Structure 1
C-alpha cells in the first residue's frame, strides 16, 4: 500500500477480465463495471483506506488472451504496483476449449498475480447464464472449470498474497436457480448482467474481500 498523505493509505486493486469485468450491457452501448459497486462498498466500510481500482476488461476476450495481457500489464508496471488482483473470465472459451485448458489459464493468472501483488488474489467463478440451459456440454465444461479453479485456490500455499475463491452461486448469481422475474432483473441479454446484476457481482466480491481488508492496519 502507498501512503496518499500523512493519514491515508492507498489500496490498489487490479480487476482483470472480459466483457463481464468491463460491465457490458445494452449491446455494448453502455457499461456498468462491478468494480464501481465494489469500490463504493469498500470505501464506505474502511474510511482509513483509499481504494484505487484499475478495471481492465475487454469484450470477447478468451482466457489465452487474458493471460497474455496480464503478463504484459505486469511487465509494463513497476512491481509491486498492486495490492490485490481479481480475475474473472472463461465465458468466451466455453464453446471452443477443453475445461482443463480454460482452468489452466485462469489458475496461471492467479499464479502470476501471486508473483506481482502484495496482499491478495481473488478468482471469481465463471458465471452461469442462459447457454447452460440449452447446451449440456457448455454447462458440464463450466462445472469442471469452476471445480478446478476452486480446488486450486483451496490447495495453493496460504502465504502472502492470500488466495480466495468467489463462488457466484453462493451469492445469488446463478441463472439456473433464478425465477423468470429475477432473471429479467439481474440479466441484460441472458449472458451479460444488467446494472443491478453487476452491482450484485460487486457485492459478492466485497463480501469475500472484506475479511482480508479488515485485517489490514
Structure 2
C-alpha cells in the first residue's frame, strides 16, 4: 500500500471520526478495531507505507481494522494532542486519540491496539514513557473501549545485539514494557467471574525481533520492512483473537463521562 492508498482519519461537523484517503468529511466507518501509534503503526517503510493493520485484518478473518499512525510522534505528544480535531503526520490527517474513541454516531471501536513509545526512548525516563502510555489506554477505557497493549519494539538502538554503548536504551525499553505489563494487569479489575478484562498485554518483540540484516527490518534499524509489518500483523492476530472477540460481543461498557 503506497501513501496515496493509505487511509487517513478525518471528521465531520458532528465530530464523528471516520476514514477517508481524500481527507473529505465522512462518518464513522463501523470498523471494529483501531490500531493507534507512531510510524510503526503507520507502516512506514520508505518510500511507501505498509501498515500492519492490513495483515491483522486478514488474520482476524477479514475484520474491519482502521489505523492511525502518527509518524515521528512521542507518546507524550499523543497524550498532549489527544483532544485535537486535526493533526498532520507525513501528510495524513487524524484527530487525537480521545476524539477517535468518542464517536458520536452511536457506535465506537470495540478495541484499540496501542503501540507507541519508540520515539521517547532516547530522552524520556522509562517511568514517564509508561505513564503516558497508560494515559492513552485510560482514555480508551474511559470511553468504554478495550485496549491491547503492545510492547515497545526492539530496534538497532534498543536490542541485545547492539547493547554495547547503548545498553541504557535496551534497559529502558525493557523497563517500559515491564511497567506496561503491570498497568495492563491492574486495569483488569474485579475477580473471578466478575473480572472485567479491559486491557490485554501482548509481547511482540520476541516474535519480530530486530537483528542486523533481517528481512523484517529496514536498514535504518528503526522501521520494519513491508514483509516485517505483514509478519507482525499476521502473528498478532491469533494472540488477540479471543480478547477482541469478547469485546466485540461486548460486553458493552458504558463511557465513564
Bin the TM-score by the shorter chain: 0.7 to 0.9
2:70 is the alignment partner of 1:70: no
2:60–2:238 CA contact under 8 A, matched in 1: no
List per-residue Cα deviations over 1:48-86 (Å, max 9, x = no partner). Answer: xxx222210011000012222212333564565111111
Unaligned runs of 5+ in 1: 1-9, 45-50
- Relative distance call for 1:186 and 1:92 in structure 2 (3 A) is same
* Aligned counterpart, 1:53: 65
List per-residue Cα deviations over 1:131-181 (Å, max 9, x = no partner). Answer: 1225112111111100000111122234555310110134x2122xx4x45
- With structure 1 as the length reference, what TM-score do the two structures score? 0.80
RMSD value, Cα: 2.1
Alignment partner for residue 112 of structure 2, among 85, 96, 106? 85
2:98–2:140 CA contact under 8 A, matched in 1: no
Looking at structure 2, the residues matched to 36 and 139 of structure 1 have their Cα atoms a distance apart, in angstroms, of 29
Alignment partner for residue 190 of structure 1, among 221, 224, 228? 221
* Aligned counterpart, 1:4: none
2:31–2:66 CA contact under 8 A, matched in 1: no
- Relative distance call for 1:55 and 1:110 in structure 2 (3 A) is same
Alignment partner for residue 150 of structure 2, among 103, 113, 124? 124
- Relative distance call for 1:81 and 1:131 in structure 2 (3 A) is same
* Aligned counterpart, 1:110: 137
2:231 is the alignment partner of 1:205: no
| 3-state SS, counterpart of residue 131 of structure 1 | coil
| 3-state SS, counterpart of residue 130 of structure 1 | coil
Unaligned runs of 5+ in 2: 1-29, 83-95, 190-194, 250-257
- Relative distance call for 1:79 and 1:62 in structure 2 (3 A) is farther
1:166–1:204 CA contact under 8 A, matched in 2: no
* Aligned counterpart, 1:23: 43
- With structure 2 as the length reference, what TM-score do the two structures score? 0.68
2:188–2:197 CA contact under 8 A, matched in 1: no
